Amino acid sequence: MNNHKSLPENQQEALLESIRELCRVFWGPTREACDQMMQERYLLSFATLDPELKISPSNALEQLAEILKGFPGPDALFNYLEEGYVRLFVNDRGRIIAPLYESCYEDEKNPRLMGDAAVRIQKRLESEGMNISDDIREPPDHLSIELELLYFLLTRSKPANNRMPEAAAFATQLLPWVTCFNARLANETRCRFYPLITAVLVAVLQWVDGLQHQV
């Protein structure tokens, strides 16, 4: 991001760190990640961007901090997040509230995996010289894979080519389905962490989308 002179360095670093953290969240909880989430600096990158973001609800970061403070240790946090992750995104008595795949939002009356979005993202990954690791058995339009691609677009540059417009355009493409994804989580009360962090994700994507008009 060295060519992105419109962004202060602290915002550049915070943006990248925020996307990394969001990517980890939607791969699912691990005990190692939960240990890091218990650290005071976990939300720091989001807080750095907060003055630029339009998060709804506006106190989402404060609510997230309170949730994390409410657990005595990483094991308790892991159990809480794992239950929520499986129920919301993987399997809840045959019905998934909010699938993590863009293809499932192309036709919400008839959701399916490996739709046009998966094909499009796979082609984009190939055009960027990116490969999905063999140990990741997920379609290419999984939210975390798409966030990894966004991270790549923000960090890699071709000679004499600023990649921020590309990254911003990709964020624009993600916003419609991620906004629907966020809306499906709005009424979740048992595990508030996921609707709140998804609201942060939407705000980050909106901000990146807006950067294409500033560079």
- Whole-number pLDDT of residue 188: 95
Domain extent for 35: 9-99+148-211
- CA 120 to chain CA centroid, Å, is 19
- Percent of the chain topping pLDDT 90: 70
Q: What is the mean pLDDT of residues 50-66?
A: 95
Is residue 57, in this structure, part of any structural domain at all? yes
Is residue 141, in this structure, part of any structural domain at all? no
Is residue 191 a contact partner of residue 81, using CB atoms and an 8 Å limit? yes
Count how many domains the chain has.
1
Is residue 188, in this structure, part of any structural domain at all? yes
CA distance 107 to 126: 25
CA distance 46 to 125: 27
Query: 6 pLDDT exceeds 70?
Result: no
Q: Residue type at 203?
A: A
pTM of the model: 0.91
CA distance 25 to 27: 6
Per-residue pLDDT tens over the stretch 159-183: 444 667 889 999 999 999 999 999 9
CA distance 149 to 170: 9
**Integer CA distances (angstroms), 133 to 69, 102, 138, 156, in order:** 34, 19, 10, 19
Q: Residue type at 16?
A: L
Q: What is the mean pLDDT of residues 182-203?
A: 97
CA distance 150 to 143: 11
- Percent of the chain topping pLDDT 70: 89
- CA 190 to chain CA centroid, Å, is 21
Query: 21 pLDDT exceeds 80?
Result: yes
Q: Residue type at 6?
A: S
Query: 198 pLDDT exceeds 80?
Result: yes
The two structure tokens encoding residue 114: 């490996």
